[in-house]
Structures are given as C-alpha cells and as structure tokens.
Amino acid sequence: MDGPGIIGFVVIGLIAGYVADRLHETGRGLFSHLVVGIIGALIGGIVASAIGVPPPAGFVANLVVATLGAIFFLYAMRKLGGIRRN
C-alpha cells in the first residue's frame, strides 16, 4: 500500500488541524482538528495536483500539504463567516 495508511492519515490530519487551529486561534477540540486536517489534506492535494506539483511522498511532505490545505480551509471559512475567533 502506498501512502501513509489509515493511522498515518489520522495522525497527519490531527497535526495539520492542530497547527491550522493554532494559527487561526479558533479554540476548537480534538475532533475538530481531525476534521479540519482531513479536509485540509484533500484541499491541499487537489490544489497541488492542479498546479502540477507531484503527489507528496513521505510523512513530512504529506503533513506540509495537509497543513497548508487546512490553513487555507480555515481562512476561507473565516472569510465566509463560518468561524470566529474565541
């Protein structure tokens, strides 16, 4: 199996969501971090492939793409009025 696997995907999602949450200061919980990180990984992967970046290989590369996607997701949600700072 290529990629991080399901456990790696969850760990990457948690870390990416946590980092994005700390930057945007939303103050959400662990489940929220996981959801934001997973959505961020999807967004990051789509954007990366759209601009011609090859799929990330390795834990750190996947974490960077997921974190950037999660940061973008929270930024977009804030601009759309979906979240506020605590």
Task: Indicate if the pLDDT at residue 1 is higher than 60.
Answer: no
pLDDT at 83: 64
Give 63: exposed, middle or buried? Use CB within 10 Å, 0-12, 13-18, 19+. buried
Mean pLDDT of the chain: 81
pLDDT tens-digit profile of 48-74? 888 888 877 888 888 888 889 988 888
pLDDT at 82: 66
Task: Indicate if the pLDDT at residue 8 is higher than 70.
Answer: yes
Q: State which H helix or E strand residue 28 sits in.
A: none
pTM: 0.79
